[in-house]
């Protein structure tokens, strides 16, 4: 399993490097984790260089996400390789390094950016009581097709009902969700 993931990672890194005009293979971005502490999350770069600046402008124009999160089904910032990586969540493989360094777990609520956390109400802040995860109840329940309120409500449900069995069920369902690629953009 580890050998397969590392082989896939090398292939993805090459695909990113060969299809983009310079720039890093990996993308680091600050997210908010356990206890509201910021940390750097790692991903394969799926967007054009300087996409962060473009996203701010596009956020004002059109947002097809779930109210607070910025999402566009046909995002001009996403590279052709990035579209495929995102559809099957392959861009998130480097987050295994976040799991190894202790800033993330395999299963848990997705780590949000500061702008999103600032929108949390009291109940929503319960998401910060556990480590964020690479996968979670949100990912196997509809992903980006869900509204902001539904996605946070699902994450809070996870926090309130956590068990090892629940995590194992989510990991099992993750395989199907990733293979279908539903709600991923």
The confidence score (pLDDT) of residue 10 equals 83
Cα torsion 181, 140, 70, 109: sign? negative
pLDDT of the residue at 8: 74
**Measured between alpha carbons, how far is 68 from 170 in angstroms, rounded to an integer?**
25
- Residue-level pLDDT at 74: 67
Nearest-10 Cα torsion for 6, 29, 18, 1: 10
pTM, rounded to two decimals: 0.81
Q: Per-residue pLDDT for the chain (185 aa), expressed as one digit of tens each? A: 445 566 677 888 787 777 777 788 899 999 999 999 999 999 999 887 777 676 666 555 555 554 545 455 667 788 888 888 888 889 999 999 999 999 999 999 999 999 888 888 888 889 999 999 999 998 898 877 788 888 888 999 999 999 999 999 999 999 988 888 765 65
pLDDT of residue 152: 83
H-type alpha helices, 2-106: 2-19, 51-61, 80-87, 95-100
């Amino acid at each position: 399993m580890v050998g397969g993931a590392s082989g896939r990672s090398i292939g993805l890194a090459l695909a990113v490097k060969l299809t983009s005009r310079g720039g890093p293979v990996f993308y680091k971005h600050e997210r908010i984790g356990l206890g509201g502490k910021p940390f750097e999350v790692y991903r394969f770069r799926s967007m054009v260089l300087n996409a962060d600046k473009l996203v701010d402008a596009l956020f004002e124009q059109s947002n097809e996400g779930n109210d607070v999160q910025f999402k566009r089904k046909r995002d001009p910032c996403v590279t052709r390789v990035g579209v495929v990586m995102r559809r099957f969540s392959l861009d998130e493989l480097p987050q295994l390094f976040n799991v190894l360094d202790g800033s993330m777990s395999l299963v848990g609520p997705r780590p949000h950016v500061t702008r999103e956390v600032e929108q949390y109400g009291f109940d929503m802040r319960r998401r910060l009581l556990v480590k964020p995860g690479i996968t979670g109840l949100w990912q196997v329940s509809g992903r980006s097709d869900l509204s902001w309120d539904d996605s946070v409500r699902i994450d809070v449900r996870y926090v309130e009902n956590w068990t090892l069995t629940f995590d194992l069920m989510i990991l099992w369902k993750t395989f199907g969700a990733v293979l279908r690629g539903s709600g991923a953009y």
